Amino acid sequence: MENCIFCQIITGRIPSVKVYEDDRVFAFEDINPISEGHTLIIPKTHAENLFEMTGADLSAVIHASKKVASGIQKALSPDGIAMLQLNGRGANQVVMHYHMHLVPRMPGAGRLPITIWEIKAGDMDAIQKTGAKIAAAIE
Ligand code: AMP
Ligand code: ZN
C-alpha cells in the first residue's frame, strides 16, 4: 500500500532494523521501544487488522512470533515476553498495518499497564448474557 509506513519498511524504502523475514512475514525493532528488544512482526501483504488477515498470514505471524521470541529469550534473557496486538483506533492502534508486538520484560522493569488490571468479580448474569450473545454471533 502506497502510503503505509510498514509496507515501505518491507520494501526497504523506509529503513528498519530487521531481525527476521520469511516469505510471508517481516520482523523488525520498534523505534520507540517500551523495553530493550521490543520487536514488531508484520505480514508482507498489507492487512489493516485482525479482521483483514488471511488464515495463512495469521498462522505465519504466530509461527514467526515463536521463532523471534525464542531469539529474544536467548539473546536478552528477559523475565518474560508480552505479545500484544491492537485492532482499531479505539484499542490504540496507531499504524494501520497489522503488527504483533513482542515486548521483553526485563528484571526490575516498570509496570506494563496493559497487562495489569484490577481483579474484580463481575456480574455473572451479565457475563452469561454477553457470552451467549458472542457465542451466537460466531460463524
Ligand atoms: P500500535 O499501532 O499502537 O500497535 O503501535 C505502532 C508501533 O509502531 C509503535 O510502537 C511505534 O513505535 C512503531 N513504529 C512506528 N513507526 C515505526 C518505524 N518506522 N519503525 C519501527 N517502528 C515504528
Ligand atoms: Zn501496509
Number of the ligand 1 atom closest to the C-alpha atom of 9: 19
Distance 11 CA to ligand 2 centre (A): 10
**Ligand 1 site-directed mutation target among 94, 97, 100, 101, most atoms within 8 Å of CB:** 94
pLDDT at residue 115, rounded to an integer: 80
* Helix (H) / strand (E) containing 84: strand 80-84
Number of the ligand 1 atom closest to the C-alpha atom of 85: 4
pLDDT at residue 130, rounded to an integer: 93
Question: Where does 5-112 sit in CATH, by number?
Answer: 3.30.428.10
Distance 30 CA to ligand 1 centre (A): 6
pLDDT at residue 91, rounded to an integer: 95
Read off the amino acid at residue 41. Answer: I
CA distance 95 to 93: 6
Model-wide pTM > 0.85: yes
Instruction: Divide the 139 residues of the chain into consecutive groups of 10 and give the mean pLDDT of each group.
Output: 95 97 97 94 98 98 97 95 96 97 91 84 94 92
pLDDT at residue 85, rounded to an integer: 97
CA distance 93 to 83: 14
Distance 29 CA to ligand 2 centre (A): 16
pLDDT at residue 121, rounded to an integer: 94
Where are the chain's structural domains? 5-112
pLDDT at residue 27, rounded to an integer: 97
Which of helix, strand or coil describes residue 1? coil
